[in-house]
Amino acid sequence: MKPAFWARKAHKWIGLVIGVQALLWMCSGLYMTSISIDVIHGDHLAHVEEEPLAPGQIRVTPGELKERFDGVRHFRLKRFLSQPVYEVHHRGGIALVDAVSGKPLNPLPEASIRQAALALYQGKAPVQSMSLLRQAPQEVATRPVPLWQVRFADRGETTLYLSPETGELLAKRHSLWRWFDFLWMFHIMDYEARTDVNNTLLRVSAAVGLLFALSGVWLLFYSFSKRRPA
């Protein structure tokens, strides 16, 4: 049989194998390049505004922190709900301490988490629900637990995840991010963790896709080299 016959045969069968995945690659790639990554990250929905701290407000000294907590690894001074606080990382975990009174603040009550979420949120919708999660959902699977999940009643189903120990914003999620994550799963062909861009299935599919392209080049070569009647 002629080589052109085998080129057509190979191109057809390889296309049947890889065609659906190639379509998914193109659709997911189009979505990813059409929407700004800043929008996907939700930078327009929530952000932290750091106001400078007045030195005169601070009454608790670093020395007092080292005396109070065993094995202090590091600490930082920050603002939480307009108040200066110390976030102290020590042998027993993380402590949040009022930098003026020295009063321990964590674990933070639900009311404080709600206030923090509303201060971070840049929209106008009210809080729809709040939950203290002991098991992280898929969309924040890499974040430490427990964590607070605060949902807002807006069109994008904005959800903020905050630390119950420090009140820190751990993640921002919304509808466009969730679509991105769903399509990213098909794009990298990691259907579980959605993080492994070097998995075997993706490598095999990419190799088959290359064979499909090469068989097309092979057909193109025979198409142009074929003699036409005078």
Total domains, the chain: 2
User: Could you tell me if 105 and 207 lie in one domain?
Assistant: no
User: Could you tell me if 105 and 202 lie in one domain?
Assistant: no
- Under DSSP, is residue 199 helix (H, G, I), strand (E, B) or coil? coil
CA–CA distance, 124 with 189 (Å, rounded to integer): 37
Residue 65 to residues 58, 72, 84, Cα–Cα distance (Å): 13, 8, 15
> Tell me, what's the pLDDT at 46?
87
Range of the domain at 27: 15-38+180-222
Instruction: Please state whether the predicted TM-score (pTM) of the whole model is above 0.75.
Output: yes
Kindly state the tokens that stand for 137: 């959902």
Q: Tell me the one-letter amino acid at 47.
A: H
User: Could you tell me if 28 and 107 lie in one domain?
Assistant: no
User: Whose structure tokens read 């932290």?
Assistant: 48
The answer to whether the beta carbons of residues 188 and 199 sit under 8 Å apart is yes
Cβ neighbourhood burial of 193 (10 Å; 0-12, 13-18, 19+): exposed
User: Could you tell me if 147 and 82 lie in one domain?
Assistant: yes
Average pLDDT over residues 31-58: 83
Kindly state the tokens that stand for 72: 């202090």
Which of 110-119, 164-173, 191-200 comes out lowest in average pLDDT?
A: 191-200
